[in-house]
Amino acid sequence: MLRCAFLTALALFALAGPAAAQMQRNFPANALRGEMIVRQPPEIVLNGVPARLAPGARIRGQDNLLKMSGALVGQRLVVDYTRDISGLVLDVWILTPAEQARQPWPTTEAQAKAWTFDPLAQTWSRR
């Protein structure tokens, strides 16, 4: 009986892997693209400029699971991110190669204001 339960759980786990790998993440319209390096949390470098993670900032890995900033120290990561009202980095998504290939994507707030975002297709177009 225990063996059957174990094998069933193992089979469900094996089937869940490919489904999770094909998941499409939806990013908000205010998400900007950038390159992030975590220095000494909460200190980061974002697009070559020193920045800071907000208290309660969430960093999601390519698998969409939460990552601790301390585990990412020194890594150069292509990310989409949002800022809170005080300018601190609030949400970060470490991008998969497929997500990185979605071009164009704004890197500044001025670009985001000038371009048009399609939330269903998750694409930007220049006006």
Q: Could you report the per-residue pLDDT of 34-93, keeping only the tens digit for each?
A: 999 999 999 999 999 999 999 999 999 999 999 999 999 999 999 999 999 999 999 999
Backbone angles phi, psi at 13, to 5 degrees: -65, -45
Cβ 24 vs Cβ 17: under 8 Å: no
Cβ 107 vs Cβ 32: under 8 Å: yes
Average pLDDT over residues 6-18: 54
pTM comes to: 0.80
Mean pLDDT taken over the chain: 88
Which residues, in sequence order, are bridge partners of residue 44?
38, 51
Cβ 72 vs Cβ 59: under 8 Å: yes
Which residues, in sequence order, are bridge partners of residue 77?
36
123 token code pair: 């694409």
